[in-house]
Chains A and B, each alone.
Chain A
Amino acid sequence: MVDLARKNLLHDKLRFLITVSGVAFAVALVFVQVGLFLGLMRNATITIERLGADLWVTSRNTPNVDFAHAFSESRVERVRSIPGVARADNLIVAFMNVNLPSGAEEGTLVYAMEDFGAWNFPWHVLEGDTEDLRRGNYVFIDESAAKRFGPFAVGDYREYLGTRLKIIGRTTEARSFTTTPLSFMDYQLAQRLLRSNTGSQTMYILVKLAPGADVEGVRAEMKQRLPYNDVYTSDEWATRSRNYWIVSTGLGFNLGLTVFLGCLVGVVVVALTLYTSTMEHLKEFGTVKAIGGSNRDIYGILARQALISSVVGFVLGAIPSLALRPLVSRLGGLELQITPLLMVWTFVGTVVLCLAAAMLSFRKVAAIDPALVFRG
């Protein structure tokens, strides 16, 4: 079959370039915006997912994992006494100021536990043993902190809330939504550093259930015994944390608007270039009709043009977006999460929108009078 659609598209290379550039722009915009959004959302909940607790006990109305409020650490005993609970541990998540050798002051988000090993947390240790954290004024720092703290190495010291702590380990992949670097230290050390704020208090209780335990039953019992706390499953807590950032910061609206505008630009460019191309080829389409072609044959040609534009535009938009990932990570400290699912959905969206754009031309073609072929 002679591919008139492809030949027509490539015959006018400049127009084709403009069409696929419009699509590529929209695709790149969607990938960058949604990729950054997904990266931020992943950062927002990666610690929740990696801790792998079945239930999280939080203070009342805690909005997200980074903004914890303190409550008495003794409540963990009440949790441990509930049938079905296999393990329950206190967790402190708190912002601390760090004095850097340069004299500057930076913030860090500290995760503090008594037994990191029991929760396999942090999950990706590059150097050091978390067991050593309980032996003194020690800290693990995620390597992403180098961007804000400057270069650091195991054996260096940093001052946390006025106390010198020795760096005894490095982690990777531990991030927060705000890109504040993560540190890990012993639970009691964190309590000492935060004494003026928390005393003998904790921020969360992490709960692992015994095999076969009824999650809802245990949760109901927990709520009864801890009337001034909230209890979430891991998924609920991650969703709550994500929703906080999406709604309260306007991030969701901003993202939706940008993606919408990107798609709109793409659709308008494709629709206009296909429409003007159709207008210029009206006589050719009239000829197709005169030699026996139906509207369906011409719709097929237009749809194929839209399909080719969408596929080429998608590839041209996807390649720079994927290539941009290491750069975004290095320069912005942000993760551009272009997942296979995002790629599939963006591809489907691109094809659907380009076909929709081609429909603007369908109406024009349907009205073509084949008798126009006799006009000079």
Chain B
Amino acid sequence: MSVLRAQHIIKTFQEGRETVNVLRGIDLTLERGEIVVLEGPSGSGKTTLLSILGCILTPTGGELEVDGRKIDPRRPELLPDVRKRSIGFVFQQYNLFPALTALENVEFALNIKGCRGPEAQQEAERVLRAVGLAERLRFLPRDMSGGQKQRVALARALSGHPPILLADEPTANLDSEVGGQILRIFHDLAKKEDRSLLIVTHDPRVRAFADRVLHISDGLLAN
């Protein structure tokens, strides 16, 4: 059963008088529990596609369905709600809140998703334990290693049980050993909790964890 379905996605940007076609008709489906890797050179449209699939950007054309909901590009005000309910993000730069501890970073994300109080704290603790950070709950990001930060980011993405996880270069800032650990956690959690995972990466090690590898070039997909 697909949790994400994109049909003939087109995205154009206006640069001065010039129209730039970044995505030129992308068809992509993500099944429940599936891990898909998206590769491509710089400027190929990877991040733009990730932004559209993550309901951060709206497509210029095409159809997008996320977790059973059809996305209407004319109503961008509805996108935050889709992100809140259905999508978890993991960023290359971790994007943690520096003033919040690991536990608070995850708990804050749950608060945004409408989960508050002791329930949010318990859920935050649960996902942090699941990514192996039981000993680092009260640590600030500045006191954690890159791998630990990425695990907090992963825990944050997992919190609230979104069916789709989108990761942008999650191993780019990590050494090969820590990167491998992170990918194993990604893989195990995706399979165990039946989450669908789309990873945008340049890292060839990621392929080993993927069910499917897609290649994007000049705004078009190739398997």
Contact = CB atoms under 8 A, between A and B. Distances in A.
Interface string B49-86: 01100101100000000000000000000001101110
A294 B91 CA distance: 19
Contacts of B88: 291
B116 interface: yes
Contacts, number: 75
A4 interface: yes
User: Shortest 10 CB-CB distances between A and B: which pairs?
Assistant: A292-B84, A11-B99, A7-B99, A2-B108, A292-B83, A287-B95, A293-B112, A370-B56, A2-B104, A371-B51
Interface string B114-140: 001100000000000000000000000
Contacts of B165: none
A290 B156 CA distance: 12
Contacts of B168: 374
Interface string B87-104: 011011101011110001
Contact of A374 (B47, B83, B112, B113): B47
Nearest to A287: B95
Interface residues of A, number: 24
B80 A293 contact: yes
30 contacts: A1-B116, A2-B107, A2-B111, A4-B99, A4-B100, A4-B108, A7-B97, A7-B100, A7-B104, A11-B99, A286-B95, A287-B95, A287-B97, A289-B80, A290-B56, A290-B83, A291-B88, A291-B89, A292-B80, A292-B81, A292-B83, A292-B113, A293-B80, A293-B84, A294-B80, A371-B56, A373-B89, A374-B50, A374-B168, A376-B93
A292 B85 contact: yes
A374 B51 contact: yes
Interface in A240-297: 283-284, 286-294, 297
Most buried by B among A2, A286, A294, A376: A2
B200 to A, nearest CB: 9
A97 interface: no
A371 B57 contact: yes
B109 interface: yes
B99 to A, nearest CB: 4
A4 B111 CA distance: 11
Interface in A293-317: 293-294, 297
Interface in B164-185: 168
A7 B141 CA distance: 13
Interface in A1-54: 1-2, 4, 7-8, 10-11
A353 B154 CA distance: 40
B109 to A, nearest CB: 5
A329 to B, nearest CB: 44
A1 B111 contact: yes
A31 to B, nearest CB: 32
A374 B104 contact: no
A201 B47 CA distance: 95
B216 to A, nearest CB: 15
Contacts of A286: 95
Given A11-B99, A292-B84, A374 B91 contact: yes
A290 B54 contact: yes
Interface of B: 47, 50-51, 54, 56-57, 80-81, 83-85, 88-89, 91-93, 95, 97-100, 104, 107-109, 111-113, 116-117, 156, 168
Interface of A: 1-2, 4, 7-8, 10-11, 283-284, 286-294, 297, 370-371, 373-374, 376
Contacts of B93: 283, 376
Nearest to A284: B97
Given A10-B99, A374-B50, A374-B168, A291 B109 contact: yes
B71 to A, nearest CB: 14
A291 B99 CA distance: 17
A340 B81 CA distance: 46
Contacts of B47: 371, 374
A307 to B, nearest CB: 17
B112 A291 contact: yes
A4 B99 CA distance: 8
Most buried by A among B81, B85, B111: B111
Nearest to B88: A291
Given A284-B95, A290-B56, 12 more contacts: A287-B95, A289-B56, A291-B112, A292-B84, A292-B113, A293-B84, A297-B112, A373-B56, A374-B91, A374-B168, A376-B92, A376-B93
A293 B87 CA distance: 12
Nearest to A297: B112
